[in-house]
Amino acid sequence: MKIVIDNAIPYIRGAAELLGECVYLSGSEISASDVKDADALIIRTRTHCDKALLEGSSVKFIATATIGYDHLDTAYLDEVGIGWTNCPGCNAASVAQYVESAMLQLSTEGVISLADCTVGVVGVGHVGSLVAARLSALGCSVLKNDPPRQEREGGYFVSLADIQQAADIITFHTPLTTTGPHPTHHLASNAFMRGLKKRPLIINTSRGEVVDTTALKTAISEGLIRQAVIDTWENEPHIDRELLAKVCIGTPHIAGYSADGKANGTRMALQAVAKFFGIEKEFDIQPPELPEGTITASDPVERKLQFYNPLRDSEALKKNPTLFEQLRSNYPLRREYIPMINQ
């Protein structure tokens, strides 16, 4: 079996070889000729899997080692019988850590106050659910908006209008959809911004296109919102530099880039390939431990920010916005702090 693999997927070399012949290529440069005789692909978001890439190939299965899968033309894959999977929840804890750390950092700067704070979580899947739990533990009042789940489950969800009226912070965790009853493309539109009551902090770690770039720039300039934390951007990697200059924290789509999350995604992708091809193989992918003495703070907030502070990544991107892709591809993976703090 031949597998074409994105060469930036961590911890996969040596493990994938247990499944067959492996060819490692830059994800953004994988071409039709590269996959023509491949049986499987293991990729990330930089590889668009559609008819142009796959027609006439021998590819039978695609695993993307990511939560998101809008880079897969799933309608085409289903039509031609190519199996596919994503890795739901693999980096949920990493994104939740990013959101919590950003809020803690901004609270220490006085940009926001977490006292009597109401947070609107838009999209309550794997990531949104964990974010909601983390913020509840901080003492925040959490409002959850997820129309598809509300239709299935009823109960404890609120409308987007309710969040517009009540939230001090709004954080987006939806997939990117353009069709269906609840499209999320430009969910945070100009009309959305002008309907906000409390000048909230806006956080987007979902997909760049969920937030309208022009509307967000206007909202910051006109004081419709307090500020913004942006990790996902429209037109990546060619992001809007004016928006980057305006936001208080802007990072190169790395909220989910913890060592733990990457290890989870790699393991889940390899396991899926093995299962699809009927190979009985278990994969134990573990990130390296932090060197002893790396974390020294005893104060809970300082300790969490010592594990990860997104301000560092923001400073690097603002200094060199043209290096978005390089900063993302060469990102030094961080460890998630929760299991280590509690040990």
> Which token pair is 48?
């668009």
Residue 5 gets which letter from DSSP? E
- 208 in a labelled binding site: no
- 50 in a labelled binding site: no
- 45 in a labelled binding site: yes
- 24 in a labelled binding site: no
Catalytic residue among 186, 226, 253, 267: 253
With H, G, I as helix, E, B as strand and everything else as coil, classify residue 188: strand
Examine the residue annotation and report whether 153 is marked as an active-site residue of this protein: no
- Nearest in space to 168 (alpha carbons), one of 147, 139, 146: 139
- 78 in a labelled binding site: no
Examine the residue annotation and report whether 126 is marked as an active-site residue of this protein: no
Catalytic residue among 126, 207, 226, 328: 207
DSSP helix, strand, coil percent of the chain (3-state; round to 5)? 40, 15, 45
What is the bridge-based pairing of β-strands 169-172 and 21-25?
unpaired
The answer to whether residues 310 and 102 touch, using CB atoms and an 8 Å cutoff, is yes
> Which token pair is 133?
């739990």
DSSP state string for 82-148: -EEE--TTTTHHHHHHHHHHHHHHHHHHTSS--TT-EEEEE--SHHHHHHHHHHHHTT-EEEEE-HH
- 108 in a labelled binding site: no
With H, G, I as helix, E, B as strand and everything else as coil, classify residue 263: helix
Backbone φ and ψ for 81, nearest 5 degrees, come out as: 80, 25
- Nearest in space to 255 (alpha carbons), one of 322, 154, 201, 333: 333
Helix (H) or strand (E) holding 286: none
Examine the residue annotation and report whether 253 is marked as an active-site residue of this protein: yes
CA torsion 43-282-125-47 (nearest 10°) is 0
- 146 in a labelled binding site: yes
With H, G, I as helix, E, B as strand and everything else as coil, classify residue 280: coil
Backbone φ and ψ for 3, nearest 5 degrees, come out as: -125, 125
The answer to whether residues 47 and 30 touch, using CB atoms and an 8 Å cutoff, is yes
The residue type found at 122 is V
Feature table: binding site for substrate = 45, 66, 257
Catalytic positions are: 207, 236, 253
Feature table: binding site for NAD(+) = 146, 174, 231, 256
Feature table: binding site = 45, 66, 146, 174, 231, 256-257
